[in-house]
Amino acid sequence: MTESQVTPLWQQGREAVIAAAAPSDWRDGPPDYHLSHTVMPHERTSRLEAGSLEAVVESIVQVFEMEVSHKEDPRTWVSMVTDRFRTRVNGGPWASANDIAEQGSYNILIGDSAFYRREEESFESQHAVFHRAFPRGFFWEVLDVLSPPPVVTFKWRHWGSFEGAYKGFQPTGEKIEMFGVSVAKVSDDLKLLEVEHFYDPNAFLGSLTGGCPVAHTT
């Protein structure tokens, strides 16, 4: 039997999910992950063994991020049990799959702070803000998995080189990193049911603004 016959699609990685999707599934065509293939391997700090729990968790979360960012209809998202899925940050309010599809993942996962106001951002603009700030990619990796399914607790790192402006703040060229812990409840076949994230968004955003919440323009 081939890998596709024994491994569920959402566990095969982003490229497999992209290949299996209908053209109408995408908001603006299928995404291009060439930077993840060319830049990320040299900048990541974890080296995951193929088939390990860490590698499986990283792949599923990458598929999830791709789907919520680029697939318009949650009914086409294969990484989760869509009608049951919910997520939240630091014990805040829960958001459903439909909430993410309408508001955008950055708006849900960052929310409101002195450095970012979600009411100012549409689905399209919230992605543009960070794509502009990190033109060479904004990458994510699993560092460690602390507990196995059905409740998977894992540490992660998110990073990129600050080479484009962020809300009027000029780039420094520095590598910006953020670290966090997530707790994911999954189904028997490893679809996401619930994800809680714990991290400090202000530490990350403050590194883009020099700790000043008032935007500068030049």
Q: Per residue in 34-85, pLDDT tens?
A: 999 999 999 999 999 999 999 999 999 999 999 999 999 999 999 999 999 9
SS3 58: helix
CA dihedral 61, 95, 192, 47 (to 10 degrees): 20
Q: What is the mean pLDDT of residues 145-162?
A: 98
**Which are the contacts of 50, defined by CB distance < 8 A and separation ≥ 6?**
none
Give the type of residue at 20. A
Reported as a single tens digit per residue, the pLDDT across 6-22 is 899 999 999 999 999 99
Hey, how many other C-beta atoms are within 10 angstroms of the C-beta on 136?
14
Rg (CA), the chain: 17
Q: Is 143 within 8 Å of 46 (Cβ atoms)?
A: yes
C-alpha torsion angle, residues 152, 59, 165, 163 (rounded to 10): 120
The H or E element that residue 131 is part of is helix 123-133
168 within 8 A of 216, measured Cβ to Cβ: yes
Burial grade of 50 (CB within 10 A; 0-12, 13-18, 19 or more): exposed
Instruction: Name 125's Cβ contacts closer than 8 Å, sequence gap at least 6.
Output: none
Rounded mean pLDDT of the chain? 93
Q: What is the pLDDT of residue 1?
A: 43
CA–CA distance, 147 with 182 (Å, rounded to integer): 11
- pLDDT (mean) for 169-175: 96
3-state secondary structure of 195: strand
**pLDDT (mean) for 93-99:** 97
